[in-house]
Amino acid sequence: MTETGPEGPADKSTPPPAPAWDPVVRLTHWCVAFAVVLNGLIVEDESLIHIWIGYAAIACLLLRFFWGVIGTDEARFTSFPPSIAAAKTHLADLLAGRHKTYRSHNPIGTWMVYALWGLLIVVSVTGLMMESEPFPPHADSAFQGFLSLFQEYERGHGHGVDKVVEEIHEVAANMVLFLAMIHVGGVFLEQRLSGTRLVRAMISGEKRARPTE
C-alpha cells in the first residue's frame, strides 16, 4: 500500500515511519529492563536498594498491564495475542526474505514478551514473600498490613517454605536474565533480516525500515 503525505506519494526508496510505541510503553519497557540489569547483575541481593528497585519494577509492570487494557491500539493485549501458527509463518517469512512491518509486537516477539512478563510476576511475588521489613516503621499502615500476611505465612510454615520461595525467586530471576539475552539477540537478528530498526522504535516510538535500493 502506497502512503501519501501532504506533498504527494512517499519516496519509495525511504519507507515512511510507522507509528509503534507510545510513551507509556517505552517508559515501562526501559525502566523494567534497567531494573532487571541492576538487580540481576549489579546490586547486591537482599540489600535495601535491591528491594526498592524491585518495587519500582513492580509499579512499572502494573502500569504496563493496566495500559495493555485501556491504552493505545498497539499497546493493548488484543493487538498481540500469542499464536504458534503466526510465529511459524513469521519465521518462515523472515528466512525467505519476506518482510511485514507489525505496528505492535511481531508473532515471535509476542511469545517472548508474555514469557518475560510471566517470569517477572513470579520474581515479584516471591520477592514480596521473602522480604519482611522493606519499609521504615512510619510507612503506611495499610501497606504494612498487606505485607504482614506474607510474614504471618512465613512464621506459620517455617524455614522450609522460606527456602523454597527463595529458590523459586532465584531460578525465575536467572531465567529472566537468560530470556532477556535471547530477546536482545533476537531483536538485532530481526533488524538485520527485516531492515526494521526495532531498537530505535522503542526509543523514538516509530518503526523505520532501511531505505530500499
Residue 6: all three cell numbers together: 501532504
Digit-coded pLDDT (tens) for 156-183: 555 566 788 899 999 999 999 999 999 9
Q: Which fold has domain 18-207?
A: Fumarate Reductase Cytochrome B subunit (1.20.950)
Domain boundaries, the chain: 18-207
Digit-coded pLDDT (tens) for 124-141: 999 988 875 544 444 455
Q: Helix 48-70 to helix 23-37 angle, to the nearest 10 degrees? A: 150
Measure the CA–CA gap between 27 and 30, rounded to whole angstroms. Answer: 6
Of 12 and 18, the one with more pLDDT: 18
Cα-based distances in Å from 108 to 26, 65, 183: 19, 20, 10
pLDDT at 10 over 70: no
Measure the CA–CA gap between 134 and 183, rounded to whole angstroms. Answer: 31
Give phi and psi for 85, each to the nearest 5: -60, -45
Digit-coded pLDDT (tens) for 24-34: 999 999 999 99
Cα–Cα–Cα angle for 94, 98, 104, nearest 5°? Answer: 70
Q: Give the predicted TM-score (pTM) of the model.
A: 0.78
Residue 194 contacts residue 94 (beta carbons within 8 Å): yes
